[in-house]
Structure 1
Amino acid sequence: MVTDYIIAVQEVKRMAMEGTSNFISNYLQPMLNNFPNEAQFQVAGILPALLSSRKKTQLLNYKKTVARYGEDNVFHTIVKNHDRLEAFGENGFSLNDYNDRKMFALFADLFTELELRIESFEKTGDVKDFRYESHYFDSMTNTTLPAGKEIQLDGIAE
């Protein structure tokens, strides 16, 4: 296998929730069952994506995802629906743009959380009782936290 950890990215829409379940049960689990020596990967977590907190059905679907997989297995960092993310491919990004820096802060949290999840797997073999608290960006309030404002151009928060 070519990876140790997999992130199941899930758009918080009903059909996407079913797709995540199918991805795990119809693809990942059979791979583990059929190739136990070769398939040595772990699902690092379910990453909620493209959430619009103004849409009640999406918030409900997010809560259903947490209920289904457990709070430990769902990333605390949520990639909400940001126009800026959609524009990165076409327009690129600027290290000095306010909105781009918000996205850097969001991804700093995402990578920090992933790193800590991996550390938990490496130490305990699981993410049972895993909790992450945002350091750089509060996804639900769309607010850059103080540490997120301090991210330097080299990517290091001081």
Structure 2
Amino acid sequence: MRCPFCGHEETQVVETRESDEGDVIRRRRRCLSCDTRFTTYERAEVTMPSVVKKDGSRAEFDPAKMRASMMLALRKRPVSLEQVDAALQRIEQKLRSSGMREVQSSKLGELVMRELKKLDKVAYVRFASVYRSFEDVDEFSRLIKEI
């Protein structure tokens, strides 16, 4: 690690501590040239897959967008924010562990529907009706019977 003060290439780690959550490591370092101390932080860099939309365009995965669509489906439903956060974490974990560089938006929609089905049946039907673009009442009826 290069010293931010004098630019010397060699530094020594004096102290290492892990954060309470365990996701960040804090290191106190000392420059071997100017003897100045400074702190660095290490964090694992995990990239989420890009989302391939129906039209073939690609977009960066946006957890806020996914949260917003789930919250819209869950509007005025008896589901806590903790339950929503847990569902979002499960979806993100599945995406991370898949190792895929790209994910189809349809696959992402299916993951959201699966989580909504566990949380609240009404929210699931709301999301599915928009996501699947039902053309008539029969399609809607089939989905309700499926539940």
User: TM-score, normalised to structure 2's length?
Assistant: 0.30
Q: Could you say which structure has the greater relative contact order, defined with CA pairs below 8 angstroms and 6 or more residues apart?
A: 1
User: TM-score, normalised to structure 1's length?
Assistant: 0.28
Larger helix percent: 1
Larger strand percent: 2
Question: Computing the radius of gyration over CA atoms, which structure comes out larger, 1 or 2?
Answer: 2
